[in-house]
């Protein structure tokens, strides 16, 4: 029996047009995400299923020395005109990087290649048109909603003053965003997953390099700017504009962890999800007896090594980098396999900026692994966690609502939060909890901070 892809849709085209795909909404979203579209005045003019018409004005930002359209901007218009036409076929599916979404329910679209033929100079407002024929549209829908990757070439025609100015062939691929995540049992990593992983690490490094107006935040990282690079600095700028609380959240947790390291007599520090956090270099210089274990996904470890090799001093004799996938590898086995790790020594485990992106069971499995490695009564794990309001959005606090909307727009939605941290950790065998609201630590009144907490957990009853 043949089932029409129309049966797969949960929403009507009329509803999808109103909520996701109307020209005014798309123009605003795309201009805010891609500033060059705003600067040029590019706009979505008309939209239908499998159809997009755009307008690239003839103005100073879009023209060349001849007063006609800059060829590269015609190509830019082709990219987004075809992308919108393709997006209309994924009815009800938010597009990552454009709509508010999370990995579980969004689609990722990327341009794979382009071929643009310029026929005559464009000397008027430029209209771009992309129409997907019915047969190709049905094939695209069927493949996507059956969970398969879509690779498709679309044609975009451009005209001004009654003349055909250019014709573009644009090859796109579309895929459910969650499929970009590493699949269980597979050794193959998506290039886009690796890109997102590194981009996130660079962005946080960029935030670590910022300064705060809060007098409580005095720590700084001399390695942050080079670790972030221009990509991380750009992403940090965007993030800071969208989520003004996040800079102090990152700086606050960085400083609190540094204080925890200095206040304790730890012989080992294990960084779970090290990213581009360079605290191991800072503290290795201060304490040549400490050994740091830096754990992250293989591609992130490669990026970390590339970055650290640029520094004049890498403290390689005090640092051990281990590739680990927390979702499938045993943390206990990975560390126990390294001869330099000694579970009997007082050890600080740092699980920073991670709990909110893992499920409850994934977090519990990791904490139980850490517990098994706490062979000394003074060993501790530091982690940060959000309250359930930050996950569910069930709040009447405007600042929390705005924060959640910002995270959704970035595609960084939180999926896990805890009301009672002490009760939760005790339920999985850990004890001695010291929990501190970041708002209290930072002397900040914003409810977002009071729903973001730092926890220090040990295996016994003597935590401080």
**Domain 5-178 architecture:** Roll (3.10)
Distances (CA, A) of 90 to 46, 54, 77, 252, 418: 17, 19, 21, 41, 35
How far is it, in rounded angstroms, from Cα 219 to Cα 276? Answer: 17
Q: Is the pTM of this model over 0.85?
A: no
Domain ranges of the chain: 5-178, 245-458
Q: Where are the alpha helices (DSSP H) in 130-180?
A: 134-145
How far is it, in rounded angstroms, from Cα 65 to Cα 454? Answer: 57
Q: Tokens for 246? A: 């996040």
- Report, in angstroms and rounded to the nearest whole number, the Rg of the chain calculated over CA atoms: 25
Question: 236: how many CB neighbours lie within 10 A of its CB?
Answer: 24
Which residues lie closer than 8 Å to 457 by C-beta, 6 or more apart?
Answer: 367, 380, 381, 382, 383, 425, 430, 431, 432, 433, 434, 463
Give me the mean pLDDT over the 69-81 stretch.
Answer: 97
Please give the full DSSP string across 302-359, using - where no structure is assigned: HHHHHHHTTSS---GGGEEEEE--TTTS-HHHHHHTSTT--TTS-EEEEE-S-GGGS-
The residues with which 361 forms a beta bridge, in sequence order, are none
Residues composing the chain: 464
Q: Give tens-digit pLDDT for 352-369.
A: 999 998 999 999 999 999
Question: 161: how many CB neighbours lie within 10 A of its CB?
Answer: 12
Q: Give tens-digit pLDDT for 18-68.
A: 999 999 999 999 998 899 999 999 999 999 999 999 999 999 999 999 999
- Indicate the pLDDT class of residue 461, thresholds 50, 70 and 90: low
- Indicate the pLDDT class of residue 213, thresholds 50, 70 and 90: very high
2, pLDDT greater than 50: no
Burial state string for 173-199 with b = 16 or more CB within 10 A and e = fewer than 16: ebbbbeebebeeeeeebbeebbebbbe
Q: Where are the alpha helices (DSSP H) in 181-245?
A: 191-208, 224-242
Q: At the topology level of CATH, where does 245-458 sit? A: Rossmann fold (3.40.50)
9, pLDDT greater than 90: no
DSSP helix/strand/coil, 155: strand
């Amino acid at each position: 029996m043949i089932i029409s892809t129309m049966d797969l849709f949960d929403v009507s085209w009329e509803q999808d047009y109103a909520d996701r795909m109307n020209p005014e909404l798309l123009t605003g979203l795309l201009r805010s995400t891609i500033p060059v579209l705003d600067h040029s005045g590019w706009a979505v003019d008309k939209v239908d299923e499998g159809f997009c018409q755009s307008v690239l004005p003839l103005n100073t930002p879009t023209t060349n020395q001849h007063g006609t359209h800059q060829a590269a901007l015609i190509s830019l218009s082709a990219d987004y005109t075809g992308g919108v036409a393709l997006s209309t076929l994924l009815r009800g599916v938010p597009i990552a990087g454009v709509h508010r979404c999370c990995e579980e329910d969004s689609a990722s679209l990327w341009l794979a290649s382009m071929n643009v033929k310029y026929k005559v100079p464009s000397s008027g407002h430029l209209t771009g048109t992309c129409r997907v024929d019915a047969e190709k549209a049905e094939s695209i829908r069927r493949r996507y909603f059956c969970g398969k990757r879509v690779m498709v070439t679309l044609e975009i025609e451009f005209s001004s003053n009654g003349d055909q100015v250019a014709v573009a062939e644009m090859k796109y691929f579309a895929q459910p965003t969650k499929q970009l995540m590493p699949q269980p049992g597979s050794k193959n990593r998506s290039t886009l997953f690796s890109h997102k992983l590194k981009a996130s690490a660079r962005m946080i490094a960029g935030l670590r390099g910022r300064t705060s107006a809060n007098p409580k935040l005095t720590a700084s990282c001399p390695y942050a700017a080079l670790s972030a690079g221009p990509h991380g600095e750009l992403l940090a700028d965007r993030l800071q504009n969208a989520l003004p609380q996040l800079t102090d959240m990152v700086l606050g947790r960085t400083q609190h962890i540094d204080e925890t390291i200095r206040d304790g007599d730890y012989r080992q520090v294990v960084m779970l999800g090290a990213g581009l956090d360079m605290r191991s270099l800072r503290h290795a210089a201060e304490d040549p007896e400490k050994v740091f274990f830096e754990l992250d996904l293989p591609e992130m470890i490669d990026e970390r090594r590339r970055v650290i090799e640029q520094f004049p001093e890498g403290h390689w004799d005090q640092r051990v980098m281990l590739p680990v996938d927390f979702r499938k590898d045993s943390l206990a086995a990975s560390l126990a396999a390294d001869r330099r790790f000694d579970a009997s020594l007082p050890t600080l485990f740092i699980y920073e900026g991670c709990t909110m992106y893992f499920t409850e069971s994934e977090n519990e499995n990791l904490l139980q692994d850490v517990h098994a490695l706490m062979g000394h009564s003074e060993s501790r794990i530091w982690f940060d966690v959000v309250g359930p309001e930050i996950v569910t959005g069930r709040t009447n606090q405007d600042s929390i609502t705005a924060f959640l909307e910002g995270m959704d727009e970035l595609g960084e939605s939180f999926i896990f939060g805890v009301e009672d941290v002490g009760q939760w950790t005790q339920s999985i065998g850990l004890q001695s909890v010291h929990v501190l609201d970041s708002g209290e630590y930072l002397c900040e009144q914003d409810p977002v901070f009071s729903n973001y907490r730092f926890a220090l957990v040990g295996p016994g009853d003597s935590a401080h």
